[in-house]
Amino acid sequence: MKQALNRISATMTAVFSMIFNLMQKQADHQKLTRHILELNKKQSSKEIINEVALCLKDIINYRLFAFVIKKETTVDVWLDPRMYKDSLENIILKDFIIENKDHLTYLNHSFHCDEPREHFNMNDLIFYDITQDNIIFRIYMLPNKKPYAYQDEVVTLILQGCSFALSQQLKIESLKDAAIIDPLTGCYNRREFENQLKRNMAGAVRHKADMSVFMFDLDHFKKINDTYGHIAGDKILKETTRLVKESMRSGDILARYGGEEFIAILPKTNKIKAMELADRLREKISKLSVEHNGAAIQVTASFGVAELNPNADMEKIIEDADNMLYRAKNNGRNTVMPGVIKIVCDQDMLKRKETVI
């Protein structure tokens, strides 16, 4: 009798499990359909990838997700969550045969060297990939629990659903970038900077918000080109702009204004904060060392800072930053003008006083 009850119980458990899995599969496919419909409404590659992430979070509930795009010369990475960067990065470098992690471009994060990271075991990592128009799309995932068999089909369908739309969007964005991006440094070019400045100034005036700009120039750059050659000079420009962009907020805008001259828009930033940022960047650049043909090349930069005022137009704020840059160069280079002197006084309160010079 007991054995018969156990058999009946096991049979009922199997039946209920089968019914539950069937219901779960139907529900997940309904979710998948909704997300694929949303994919077709997206207007940028980042929006498309974000929708894929939302879909897989909704259905599989991953612990880690990365969407990697391997194009002819670049590898772009969309990562969630950011704390797992180092662990996954080593896998990506190996899988895509990349020697230097600086060749990876993160689409949804800017990282700082001192932020906390978490390492974990990658044994349960799974991946899926598909090729469209000579572009490899790969998804890495670490699910919270072992996926159901049908969920492989879900991931394949979402990849197929996004790959064509994403490849078409990347082509459109590539054409746009060719018109507005400096090919050497990846910064905006001067023409696009002026467009961005007009928009940001209009927004700052409308919302009565702060806005500043800084302009910087690499000191004695001609001497570097004359001594080490233009290939070395190009390396310096690329590494310097990479360092600056990594240290700026996602909403800040950096452009190449001339040969070795760059300019940045800092929305919602007053003059003091802009000067402090410029000084941090100046210090980081002075510590940068670029290897070329066995030589370690170092460079410094001079910064000029200006703030938007109610009566300023585009030409005026650029002129103000340029004048401050000229003063910085005349003041010995490797400096920021106007400058901030920080004085600590009153030992009981340790108050901080800022003086603009």
Q: Print burial letters for 160-178: b (CB count within 10 Å at least 16), e (below 16).
A: ebbbebbbebbeeeeeeee
Return all residues near 161 (Cβ < 8 A) that are at least 6 apart: 36, 39
The whole-angstrom separation of Cα 13 and Cα 6 is 10
168 phi/psi in degrees, rounded to 5: -65, -40
pLDDT band at 23 (very low <50, low <70, confident <90, very high): low
The whole-angstrom separation of Cα 237 and Cα 234 is 5
The whole-angstrom separation of Cα 308 and Cα 210 is 7
Query: Per-residue pLDDT tens for 176-185?
Result: 777 899 989 9
Domains assigned to the chain: 31-179 (3.30.450), 190-356 (3.30.70.270)
Residue 263's pLDDT is what? 97
Active site residues: 260
Return all residues near 309 (Cβ < 8 A) that are at least 6 apart: none
Q: What is the DSSP string of 195-262?
A: HHHHHHHHHHHHHT--EEEEEEEETTHHHHHHHH-HHHHHHHHHHHHHHHHHTS-TT-EEEE-SSSEE
Residue 326's pLDDT is what? 95
Q: How many CB atoms are located within 10 Å of the residue 335 CB?
A: 20
Residue 19 pLDDT > 50: no
Which residue in the block uniquely carries the two structure tokens 């156990």? Answer: 6
Residue 55's pLDDT is what? 87
